[in-house]
Structure formats: structure tokens, C-alpha cells
Amino acid sequence: MTTIQDVARHAAVSVSTVSNVLNGRGDRMRPATLARVEAAIATLQFRPSKSAQQLKTGQTPLLGLLVPSMANPMYGYIAREVETFAQERFGYRLLIGSTYRDAAKEAAFFEDLRAHGVRHVIVISSLAEERHLDSAVARGMNVMSYDRRAAPGRPSAVGHVTPDNFEAARLATGHLIAKGHTRLAFATVAGMTMSRSDKIEGFFAAADAAGLRASAKVLDGGPLNEYGDSVIAEVGRATGLQLANDSRRATGIVALNDLMALGLMAGLREGGRHVPQDVSVVGIDGLFLAALSDPMLTTVQLPIRDMARAMVEQVMQAGAGAEALARERVFSEVRLIERESVGPPPRPARSSPMTKARTAKK
């Protein structure tokens, strides 16, 4: 390994001179000296050791990113945006970890980040609590949390960036209502996170506003056990299959996210139902995969790239002043992408005691 000593020797200068050029202080020396040093660096292909620099400065250009699973296309997409921006804007690299929604793995990852001296971390946790994040902050980390709002009341030192989940679900539900659906459902998985409850509230808010609250219901597809990649789609499929055999099922369904929606459609189809003729489905996320399905999935697009950038920008705030870092940003730029998975509700096969007022437009 070539060191700063080698360079100094090769250029016949002292190590501090080399260090000066490394740190952009080339103006402190004669041009000829600078040139010699630069030549030596190039010749020897010298790259200063990050660990030595870190030991000295306490800084390391590494960003920690914690996700439930990298195999989930949504997190893969966020991760890529975070990584790209962190690299382009700050020259940081990404130290990533999948936690499988496990508290112990999450804690272990934080411990390792700390040991590595990583002081900037973005967390996409599906744990209910987030106190462990505060303790990370207490140890000097800048942490940003994705997809949840600051817990009300309890002042937090961690920053928050989240899409407007309430609005996203409201929009999705409103679209179904506008198409004439009166029997609505929100399909989710077991376990209540802030993001999920916000969506559920948005769902009910839209139903309420249309006087459809009584028939609106939440479908819990069960737990997300094991490896969290495809499983949310599997839960969706199971829910879809079950729904297919339910004669009193909702005709308009909002899914927790696109993967769940895709699974839902597969399950519905497996059960012999057609989307959107028998049931309409709308997702939330706006994954590119939603444009590939048959029928193409109508979904609510979230501003992923903007959020990724905002998280990076904020987590990098040098000051670490709690004011700036602990800010909460809710991104409301959610928009409905109408595709093919939503249509008018089927006309009721027979008189249903559930039928509400306003008999859908023909």
C-alpha cells in the first residue's frame, strides 16, 4: 500500500506538504512544488486511507441506510436514489443493511454503524417504536426516518421525511368513489405502523366524505413473516383469493402499496374474478412494475426521488443542530396515475341489503 510518506519521499517534500495538497491547500506552496507532489500522487496512484483520515478527523464519507429488505423493489428504488444523490452531491458511499423487520437486527446494524464511525443514517424501519433512534442521535448520529411522522408530543431528535400517506389513500379512495364504488375496502397486512394508520385514516376520510363509512372496511391479510421481499405480494394474493370467494365483497379496493395490489390482482384472478370488471384495485407507490401488469395498475405516485434527496440533504446537515435536523417534511406531491385496474362497479347481481343511497350512475 502506498502511503503519504511514499509520496512525500517521491516528491522530495514533507508529509505535511503532501497533506496540504490533498486538502486543497495547494496555494500555500510554490507551483513547482505542487506540480511535483501531484505528479508523485499520480505516479504512485496514491489514495489516502479513509481509515487513517477518519481516525484523525472523526469523519467518514459513509451513509448508513437501513431498509426492511433490499429485495423489495420499492426499497431498492429508494436506496438507489439515496445512494446516487449522496454520491453526486456529497461524495458519500452507502453502507446498507436489510433488517427483515427485526428489532435485534436493526439494533445490531446501528451498533456496527457506530463502530464504523458512520454518523449519518437514514432509516426505513417498520418497527412500531422509534426510541432506539433517539438513542442513536444521543450518541452523535444524524438520523432521518422515512415514512413516519414525528410522534406527537414527544420531541424527537430524529428528522422525518414521509409521503402524505393520508392524502395518498384519500386520493386513491376518492378515485374509486368517483367511479361509483360504494363498497370500499382497504387491504393491508398485520401490524400497525404510522404509515399504515395514516393510509387507513385517509381511506376512511374519503369514505366518510361520501357517506360511505358504514360499508367501508379494512382487510387485514395477516402477518408478514420471514423474509420481507415477495411476501407482501403473497399476502395480497391470499387476500385476493379470499375476496374472490366472498359474495359480499367490496367492489373497490385500495391496497397498502403496489406490491400488495399486484398480489391482490393475482389472487382475485386466481379466484375467478376480473379486474376491473368485478373488482377495482388501486395501489400506492408508483413502482414501474405497476405499469407492467395486466390490467395495468392504477396507483398513486409518490415523489420518491424528491424524498430521497431531501433525506440525504437533511441528514448531511453538518451543524447537527437539533432544530434543522429534527425537522419533519411531509411530501404532499402525490398524484393519481389512472391506468386500467379501476372501472365502474359491477351492477349488483341482486338486491343487496348493503346498498347505500345514490345508485351509481349508469
44-52, 60-68, 191-199, 348-356 -> range binding DNA (CB under 7 A): 44-52
- Taking the complex as a whole, the smallest distance from the CB of residue 97 to a copy of itself amounts, in Å, to 7
Of residues 9, 10, 33, 225, which one binds DNA by CB under 7 A? Answer: 33
- For 153-183, b/e burial (b = at least 16 CB within 10 A) is eeebbbbbbbbbbbbbbbbbbbbbbebbbbb
**Closest CA relative to residue 105, chosen from 260, 259, 226:** 226
Q: Which of 320, 333, 356 lies closest to 157 in space, CA to CA?
A: 320
Per the CB < 8 A criterion, the answer to whether 348 and 154 are in contact is no
Question: What are φ and ψ of residue 93, in 5° steps?
Answer: -105, 165
Residues near 182 by beta carbon (within 8 Å), at least 6 away in sequence: 212, 215, 251, 345, 355, 356, 358, 360
Q: Which stretch binds DNA (CB under 7 A): 49-57, 94-102, 126-134, 332-340?
A: 49-57
Binding span for a copy of itself by CB under 8 A among 162-170, 202-210, 283-291, 349-357: 283-291
Contact partner at residue 155 from a copy of itself, DNA, none, CB < 5 to 8 Å by partner kind: none
* Distance of alpha carbon 300 from alpha carbon 137, whole angstroms: 33
Residues 163-202 that bind a copy of itself (CB under 8 A): none
Q: By CB under 8 A, what part of segment 291-350 binds a copy of itself?
A: 291-294, 296
- Residue holding cell 428504488? 77
**Per CB under 7 A, which of residues 258..277 are in contact with DNA?**
none
Residues 56-85 that bind DNA (CB under 7 A): 56-57
Judged by the rule CB under 8 A, the positions of this chain that interact with a copy of itself are: 1, 47-52, 54-55, 60, 62, 69-73, 75-77, 79-81, 83-84, 87, 93-98, 109, 111-112, 114-117, 140, 229-230, 233, 237, 262-263, 265-266, 269, 288-289, 291-294, 296
